[in-house]
């Protein structure tokens, strides 16, 4: 992450402002407000604004005239109850706004979550910075042999070097040609007076998908947890997970009780199918169970074993 | 509007809280935060929380690191530009949360706006108050003769009295029977020990559509303006318009620049069809225009005349 | 359910039409297309149109040029995989449109599902029929003692009779007064020449929440399953569940493979929290488990026992 | 557009299927169903499925038991009325599904329309084809001098040749390196046995934004018209407008009456602000009007002139 002096100055000014408010306020979030939390090699997440806190969830659930909260323990119980029973509307009553800098291929996954508001930096209107994502060596993985859409072992030696070389070189060349087509240098000066410069909306198509873009992104607490459930998951691509991991920290600072309920009932929960329930019931009652008899697929069986482990020898295939 | 002492106490406590925040803060909205603004005979609107201000729209449009605002005049120009060209995403970056008490038939129109968050008081869980809407005498109108879904002249004399009598009497009886079926009195005491009391989720069905319900309602600035465009309009039912009118005041206090742009480019604007454009062009160039030649329907023609008035005799039919 | 001759005639005409199409077609759904399936005492569901079938889910998941299906067994495996891993977008690619007649208090729960399209019969524009919901004797239940928002035992004897009497009488009176205020009789004839008749948009507020309304409702397969997961559930109010149950039949006729996957992985599945997973793991490995040691709440513990039953005595509290 | 034999075979098979249906059917759309309509150099749009027709809009507006249509002229009048008064829900009752092949930078604009369903070809799972967009010579434009986000004059001579050369060369190199990193050739054969091949989800980031992706896209008629209003507009980037133009043809074939209403009341309409209304009123009543007196900005004034033209000299600045 490399902020310009001007950008750091703007953040500094924003962080200085202070006003008195009657609104719910979260000191832990105020502490990091506007600050850029680094992600990947050039990306960041900044909390730019927020609305509500854990008490806002309780307040909405009770449709109360005041804050609606009672004892901490009661509030915690209510939030857990709402989470467990998918009473999602009270969690929609808190909102957060982030400024995110992220590679375009990550942005393309991100927008699949449609229940959010986005304002993206326009490359029709402005010129993109020379910033592109190059994976750290330890993240440069081979295609997985078992998962059609995942990574396997880390690339090593000459192959890793070759890949890194190509990624860097191609992005460098792309950016060089981008400016050349725009007919300007890195300082925005015209390169050749006998040229007009290609329209920005066209020139950008030469850039590769690892270039960084940025946007303002606003989402309510319920949908944020929906995002994190999928993107902080082991099946998510490592690069978007890097953002989701930082957002988990933000979630914890913002709404610690909802965070706990989310971890307990979503992130670390497991859903058993009707057939899997029967397998576990049989195992619990001492019956011998096996994949073949269970009607579970091999993959489902493997997932069940990964959750509950081996038991008395009967749980094996 | 009749708040209980307990409710007023809760509001009083909420209004006392004060904290320092780095977030954008709107003093004009802080002044009325949590207060119940009366609407109709028992309803209200309370601003319960908000996020962002006019500068937040500018900030998002510029994807800036700080507040993103420049001179007031430049910000105003940008906001007008965004509004005129339907660049709606920056207006999605501010959010407001209201607590609303409203008759059920109004609530049924209100929920047609789906891009908002709602938490309604549950009549499965709790018992509704004895509060129902009775129109003021001057709003008791006959069916319109020209508009299948509108009101005509105000009812008078005996007919008005008869209608008001029926509305009041039926609501009184409905609430009496509601409690009777629940087997409790207005203080929540059991009526008859030999009865169980009907489930709340069933008993409520005896109440009429003018009983009041209440909810928390959260919406972004863009969708709020969409709501107001339709519901502060002369075609909207008077009862929901009463709420929309109060919300226009709230909008003006919250985001005065966006409010001006909204009034100029939405609320008081008019959209001309391709055919209507041609009529106006012809009139402007001195040609004689008439409804028959124009291919506009009589209704469209009448609307055009109501906007631009009579001109040199040519604009008539 | 009581359709007029005219309505039956319209349905008959619609059912007669036949055309050749290249689109995916589901014979089992064509059989019941347009027909009114009765629900409650006067309600119904009619399948009015549909788009896609099980193969459409597969086709979208494979982004194929043709139908995209392979062997039935492979398609079934893919659909199960998508369902288990919450790959929801392919299920959004099939769509169904229903015409539903339902009591207003059910309609109010129904609209909480916002990701659907609704066109409701307008009581501003038209006059509602004299049809209201009266629960069958076996559904007239007392308030639950254990669940704040549920039903307990069935009401009996004098209390049941009293409740039914009130419900019927109040609805009859409400409709009588509704017409009186509109100044017309059941045949639409003017009652008194010296009266104007109250505007329809006002008169309707005297009707109670058990009156029937009707609407066109369109939803995609993914969101339909989301609706059914919540509304075909034992916690849903019996009246909306009556509709959900019929919709499960429709779902089965329309997309039998997706239906099976839905039942297996959603409707009859169970989600275990992180703590509950540990309890089951301990039980499976032969440890003694109890509610107190488990950190589960009594309610959570009870739910766990209801799923897996008693095991070796250790699972008890 | 270059379909493989296999793809053409799949389309051929799909087009052969025929079934009898009671659903609304649109012969003009059946004729082109599944066929690939070329857009840009390698893209296409295929109508893959549809639900409803013009009569479905009428049917929903009338909440009818049959098709709900009356005389063609009445239906046309109703559809125009709905369109003019923003009664949008009946237009949500028809749905269309497209298979689209489009450059990634176009796809990034396209997804800003969130009220639609998308299933995109996964470059985590599969390998992208060697297809990238190169603008035709006549579309290779310079940055506009008057519009920060638009195109100006067409590039010519040496500069045009240089730009085209860079775009082609960079895309060729990117794809070559993409395969090299994947460690395979164009036929999917392993390049070097001593290499593992980079994970597909990483290798794709080297491709530039003009590479083609593809997706299934489903949208209702109301939101489709919302898309077209913005994307068939002169301010939209030419490349996405190329798709919008083809979709206008599809719209016309599918729902000709709604199409006419859309063109009349949306596409070729103009919205006048409160201030602009006053200017036109003044001009119509013979007053002299000028930009300075009008309080319109220069840009707004210019737009007004572009709509209504010059009139009696008074309309000038």
**Which tens digits make up the pLDDT trace of D208-260?**
999 999 999 999 999 999 999 999 999 999 999 999 999 999 999 999 999 99
Q: Is B242 in a helix, a strand, or coil? A: helix
DSSP assigned state of B89: G
Given pLDDT bands bounded at 50, 70 and 90, which one contains residue B316? very low
Given pLDDT bands bounded at 50, 70 and 90, which one contains residue D310? low
Q: What is the pTM of this model?
A: 0.96
What is the pLDDT, as a whole number, of residue A313?
45
What is the pLDDT, as a whole number, of residue B292?
87
Q: For residue D57, which of D261, D263, D249 has the smallest C-alpha distance?
A: D261
**What's the per-residue H, E or C state across chain A?**
CCCCHHHHHHHHHHHHCCEEECCCCCHHHHHHCCCEEEECCCEEEEEEEEECCHHHHHHHHCCCCCCCCCCHHHHHHHHHHHHHCCCCHHHHHCEEEEEEEEEHHHHHHHCCCCCCEEEECCCCCCCCCCCECCCCHHHCEEECCCCCCCEEEECCHHHHHHHHHHHHHHHHHHHHHHHHHHCECCCCCECCCCCCCECHHHHHHHCECCEEEEEEEEEEHHHHHHHHHHHCCCCCCHHHHHHHHHHHHHHHHHCHHHHHHHHHHHHCCEEECHHHHHHHHHHHCCCCCCHHHHCCCHHHHHHHHHHHCCCCCCCCC
Res D313 pLDDT > 80: no
Task: Return all residues near B157 (Cβ < 8 A) that are at least 6 apart.
Answer: none
Q: Which residue of B has its CA nearest to A26?
A: B21
Q: CB-hemisphere CA count at 13 Å for B177?
A: 24
| Total length of chain D | 317
pLDDT of chain C along its 317 residues, tens only?
679 999 999 999 999 999 999 999 999 999 999 999 999 999 999 999 999 999 999 999 999 988 888 888 899 999 999 999 999 999 999 999 999 999 999 999 999 999 999 999 999 999 999 999 999 999 999 988 877 778 889 998 999 999 999 999 999 999 999 999 999 999 999 999 999 999 999 999 999 999 999 999 999 999 999 999 999 999 999 999 999 999 999 999 999 999 999 999 999 999 999 999 999 998 888 888 888 888 999 889 999 999 998 654 455 44
Residues in chain D within 8 Å Cβ distance of A150: 124, 199, 201
> Which subunits sit against D, judged by 3+ Cβ pairs under 8 A?
A, B, C
Name the residue facing A271 among C235, C269, C311 (closest C-beta).
Answer: C269
Domain D5-127+211-267 is found in CATH 3.30.70.1520: no
What is the pLDDT, as a whole number, of residue B312?
45
Active site residue D231: yes
Interface with chain C: mutation pick from D111, D216, D220, highest number of C CBs within 10 Å: D216
Cβ distance C277 to A307 less than 8 Å, yes or no, reads: yes
One of 3.40.50.720, 3.30.1360.170, 3.40.50.300, 3.40.50.2300 is the CATH number of C5-127+210-267, namely: 3.30.1360.170
Q: How far apart are CA D190 and CA D196, in angstroms?
A: 9
* C226-245 residues labelled b (16+ CB within 10 A) or e (exposed): bbbbbbbeeebbbbbbbbbe
What is the ipTM metric for this complex? 0.94
What is the pLDDT, as a whole number, of residue A273?
97
Task: Return all residues near C117 (Cβ < 8 A) that are at least 6 apart.
Answer: C216, C217, C218, C219, D89, D92, D93, D220
Q: For residue A204, which of D237, D202, D44, D180 has the smallest C-alpha distance?
A: D237
Which residue of the set D23, D114, D231, D241 is catalytic? Answer: D231
Inter-residue long-range contacts of A303-312, CB under 8 Å, 24+ positions, other chains counted: A304/A272, A304/A276, A304/A279, A304/A280, A307/A270, A307/C277, A308/A280, A308/C277, A308/C280, A308/C281, A308/C284, A309/C281, A309/C284, A309/C285, A311/A283, A311/C284, A311/C285, A311/C286, A312/A283, A312/C284, A312/C285, A312/C286
Q: How far apart are CA B45 and CA B32, in angstroms?
A: 11
Interface with chain D: mutation pick from A178, A209, A223, A238, highest number of D CBs within 10 Å: A209
Residues in chain B within 8 Å Cβ distance of A10: 64-67
Structural domain boundaries in chain C = 5-127+210-267, 137-206, 274-308
Q: How far apart are CA D218 and CA D230, in angstroms?
A: 18
Decide: residue C274, CB within 10 A, 0-12 exposed, 13-18 middle, 19+ buried: middle
Task: List A143's β-bridge partners, or say none.
Answer: A151
CB count within 10 Å of CB B72 equals: 10
Decide: residue B179, CB within 10 A, 0-12 exposed, 13-18 middle, 19+ buried: middle
Q: How far apart are CA C162 and CA B195, in angstroms?
A: 11
Cβ distance A119 to B60 less than 8 Å, yes or no, reads: yes
Strand D37-39 and strand D117-120: the pairing is: unpaired
Given pLDDT bands bounded at 50, 70 and 90, which one contains residue B117? very high
* Whole-number Cα distances in Å, D284 to B297, B302, B309: 21, 16, 9
Which residue of the set C231, C241, C266, C299 is catalytic? Answer: C231
Q: For residue C303, which of C264, C273, C261, C282 has the smallest C-alpha distance?
A: C273
Q: Which residue of A has its CA nearest to B13?
A: A66
How much is the mean pLDDT over chain B? 93
**Which tens digits make up the pLDDT trace of D48-86?**
999 999 999 999 999 998 888 888 889 999 999 999 999
Cβ distance B205 to C201 less than 8 Å, yes or no, reads: no
Task: List B36's β-bridge partners, or say none.
Answer: B46
Q: How far apart are CA B72 and CA A11, in angstroms?
A: 20
A145: contact with D, CB 8 A cutoff: no
**Which tens digits make up the pLDDT trace of B216-243?**
999 999 999 999 999 999 999 999 999 9
Cβ distance A21 to B22 less than 8 Å, yes or no, reads: no
Residue D184 structure tokens: 């395979």
* Cβ pair A143, D196 in contact under 8 A: yes
**Which tens digits make up the pLDDT trace of B46-85?**
999 999 999 999 999 999 988 888 888 899 999 999 999 9
- B-C contacts at Cβ under 8 angstroms: 159
A117: contact with B, CB 8 A cutoff: yes
Residues in chain B within 8 Å Cβ distance of C144: 199
* Whole-number Cα distances in Å, B183 to B186, B192, B228, C135: 10, 7, 42, 18
Output helix, strand, coil percentages for chain D, rounded to the nearest 5: 50, 15, 35
Task: List D19's β-bridge partners, or say none.
Answer: C21
> Which subunits sit against B, judged by 3+ Cβ pairs under 8 A?
A, C, D
- B-D contacts at Cβ under 8 angstroms: 90
């Amino acid at each position: 992450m490399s902020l310009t002096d001007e950008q750091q100055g703007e953040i500094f000014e924003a962080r200085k402002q202070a006003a008195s408010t009657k609104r719910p306020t979260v000191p832990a979030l105020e502490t990091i407000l506007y600050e850029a939390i680094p992600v990947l090699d050039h990306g960041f997440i900044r909390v730019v604004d927020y609305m509500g806190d854990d008490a806002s969830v309780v307040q909405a659930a009770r449709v109360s005239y005041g804050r609606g909260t009672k004892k901490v323990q009661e509030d915690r119980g209510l939030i857990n109850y709402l989470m467990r029973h998918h009473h999602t509307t009270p969690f929609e009553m808190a909102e957060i706004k982030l400024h995110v800098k992220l590679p375009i291929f990550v942005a393309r996954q991100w927008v699949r979550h449609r229940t959010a508001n986005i304002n993206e930096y326009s490359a029709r209107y402005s010129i993109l910075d020379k910033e592109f994502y190059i994976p750290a060596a330890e993240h440069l993985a081979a295609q997985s042999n078992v998962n059609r859409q995942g990574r396997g072992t880390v690339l090593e030696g000459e192959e890793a070097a070759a890949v890194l070389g190509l990624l860097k070189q191609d992005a460098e060349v792309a950016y060089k040609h981008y400016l050349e087509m725009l007919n300007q240098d890195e300082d925005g000066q015209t390169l050749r007076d006998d040229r007009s410069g290609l329209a920005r909306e066209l020139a950008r198509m030469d850039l590769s998908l690892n270039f960084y873009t940025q946007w303002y992104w606003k989402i309510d607490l319920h949908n944020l947890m929906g995002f994190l459930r999928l993107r902080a998951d082991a099946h998510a691509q490592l690069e978007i997970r890097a953002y989701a991991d930082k957002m988990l920290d933000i979630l914890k600072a913002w709404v610690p009780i909802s965070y706990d309920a989310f971890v307990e009932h979503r992130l670390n929960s497991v859903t058993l199918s009707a057939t899997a329930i029967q397998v576990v019931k049989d195992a619990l009652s001492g019956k011998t169970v096996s994949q073949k008899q269970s009607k579970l697929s091999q993959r489902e069986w493997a997932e069940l074993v990964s959750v509950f482990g081996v038991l008395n020898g009967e749980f094996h295939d």
